[in-house]
Structure 1
Amino acid sequence: MPPRFVAAGVSEKNEQGKRAARDRLVQQRERQKASERRRRTLIVASAVVGVLALAAVVGVIAANSGGKGDKSEAGGPVAAPSGATGKDSLAIRVGADDAPSTLTIWEDFRCPVCAQFENAFRDTIHQLENTGQIKVEYHLATIIDGNLGGSGSLRAANAAACAQDAGKFSAYHDVLYRNQPQETDDAFGDNAKLVELSGKVPGLDTPGFRSCVEDGKHDGWVKKSNTAFQNGGFQGTPTAQLNGESIFPKKGNEPITVANLKKWVAEANKGKKPATVTPTPSGS
């Protein structure tokens, strides 16, 4: 009888040892999975920052290459769109006038880096606008027309100014970037295409808007804005500044991300009261 009890005890200990070994193996695998998840997260985050940084470099190259100069710098009447603000009335403001911080953005509607910036940060910028934390001042440039030829930058900027006359700049601005053609495709040079896209903004496609687009009502203003960009010492489009400090592709040593943009605005607004605003509609 005793040997049987001994055998049973050894068997039980062996089973316990096996269970412990299995538990350790499971724990090790879970630690490996967690480590792999963290590694993938870091890779994705680094890739996003890397794409934006590379995009900024491409924007710099686009702004400074070609040597053709902007073909749309001819003189002409300067008719600023309704509500234009800033020096020489060259900015279109979105958001409450009394918002505590100002995000200044220089953009070209043909610029692919500008579209990447807008697609990455559009929702965050609108959230900050609609909660009264920032106002955004848009300045329009025509760099791609100068470098690649065509007139899509100018025509789209004029159409956006016409949308500003109708009180629908923000929504139409977003529609243009969501439907941006390839950089080498001058589709925005066709006024009919710009009018077609206005149908995505409720109430914008009117006889007045069409006439403004087709007549190039704000062409002179767009050209003057582009001259201001060229004389401003900026490195390329997009240029983004928070209260005058550059934040794209980074602010100091920190790369621009959605989280960092929110953090930077919160830091800038510390102790300041947000504006009371009506949410700005965005185009489809």
Structure 2
Amino acid sequence: MSEKNREGKRSARERLAEERERQKARDKQRRGLIVGAAVVGVLGLAAVVGLLAANSGGDDKSDTSSGPVVAPKGANGKDKLSLPLGKESAKSTLDIWEDFRCPACKQFEDAYRSTIHELADKGQLKVEYHLATLIDKNLGGSGSLRAANAAGCAQDAGKFPPYHDVLYKNQPEESDDAFSKNAKLIELAGQVDGLVTDSFKKCVEDGKHDSWATESNQAFQDAKLRGTPTVRLDGKDIFGDQQNPLTPAKLKKMVEDANKG
């Protein structure tokens, strides 16, 4: 074999080897791109999941309350989203939108509780309580929802009004999500004679009325009310006017006058 032929074959082998190396490099680069794309996809999915979690408001119960809506026994109004106090035959109706974590709602209850009960006991006033869960969304936590569910459980037992009052009398600081603990809600129920039963505890712990409470809050938002508490007597907003502030005496006179008409 001539030197020229040997040189030609060697050059061909070298070219082939070089081509194989280039091919390996291309394959390696392609695998790197595939892996990189997969990593980006996983990170993108994680980012989406994180965004959804952030937009959920941090409420570990309200986000899982997508089961069937179970209204408490005796609930009233459209879609049975209100809880009653007083006689159905009363001529005047007071609608109150509240959040059990709302400090302003506690202030309203502390100031007007005795007057509302007096008028209801006399058969002059029927009260419809509408429960919202605004503080859970604003500050995080699930105390508003858990308390609303427990209130629904008390309604099932025919003891919503006294339990409602117990919750407000024992309301924690707004930033303290103490009502998120079912054990706390059951403990407070011990202040209402005959309320703490196995069925009540199961109702609270199972979140039987979670979806109902979530729907009640949605109805509040859909109505575009100014906030909690919102108080309306026979459809007219009577609370929150700084120029003409409501007092217990004024509320009593309004109801008495309405009953005369």
Q: Give the number of equivalent residue pairs.
A: 204
Q: Identify which of 230, 245, 258 aligns with 1:255.
A: 245
Say which of 180, 200, 214 aligns to 2:191: 200
Is 1:176 the counterpart of 2:164? The answer is no
What secondary structure is seen at the aligned counterpart in 2 of 1:137? strand
* Cα distance in 2, alignment partners of residues 132 and 254 from structure 1: 27
Corresponding position: 1:121 with 2:112: yes
**Structure 2 residue 200 is matched with structure 1 residue 185:** no
Partner residue, 1:212: 203
Task: Give the match for residue 133 of structure 1.
Answer: 124
Aligned to 1:108: 99
Which SS does the other structure have where 1:80 is aligned? coil
TM-score, normalisation: structure 1: 0.69
Shift of 1:162: 0.1
* Root-mean-square deviation over aligned CA pairs: 1.6
Q: Deviations over 1:176-205 (max 9, x none)?
A: 000000000000000000000000000001
Which ranges of 4 or more aligned residues in structure 1 deviate by more than 3 Å? 67-71
> Match of 2:218, as an amino acid?
T
Report the alpha carbon displacement of residue 76 of structure 1 after superposing the two structures with TM: 2.1
Amino acid at match of 1:263: K
1:78 matches 2:69: yes
Q: 2:248 corresponds to which letter in structure 1?
A: V
Seen in structure 2, the aligned counterparts of structure 1 residues 246 and 102 have a Cα distance that, compared at 3 Å, is same
Task: Return the letter of the residue paired with 2:100.
Answer: F
- 2:154 counterpart of 1:155: no
Amino acid at match of 1:159: A
**Counterparts in 2 of 1:70 and 1:222: CA distance versus 1, 3 Å:** farther
Q: Secondary structure of the residue that 1:92 maps to in structure 2?
A: strand
Residue aligned with 2:101, SS: coil
Q: Are positions 1:89 and 2:105 aligned together?
A: no
Q: Which amino acid aligns with 1:103?
A: L
Instruction: Return the index of the structure with the highest Cα Rg.
Output: 2
Gaps of 5+ in 2: 1-54
The answer as to whether partners of 1:68 and 1:147 remain within 8 angstroms in 2 is: no
Task: Tell me by how many angstroms 1:138 deviates.
Answer: 0.4
Would the aligned equivalents of 2:57 and 2:140 in 1 still touch at CA under 8 Å? Answer: no
Q: CA deviation at 1:68?
A: 7.6
Q: 2:214 aligns with which of 223, 232, 243?
A: 223
* Percentage of pairs with the same residue: 63
Contact 1:161 1:218 survives alignment (8 Å) = yes
Tell which has more relative contact order, 1 or 2 (C-alpha 8 A, sep 6+): 1
Contact 2:58/2:141, CA 8 A, preserved across alignment: no
Q: Secondary structure, in 3 states, of the residue corresponding to 1:99?
A: coil
Match of 1:19 in 2: none
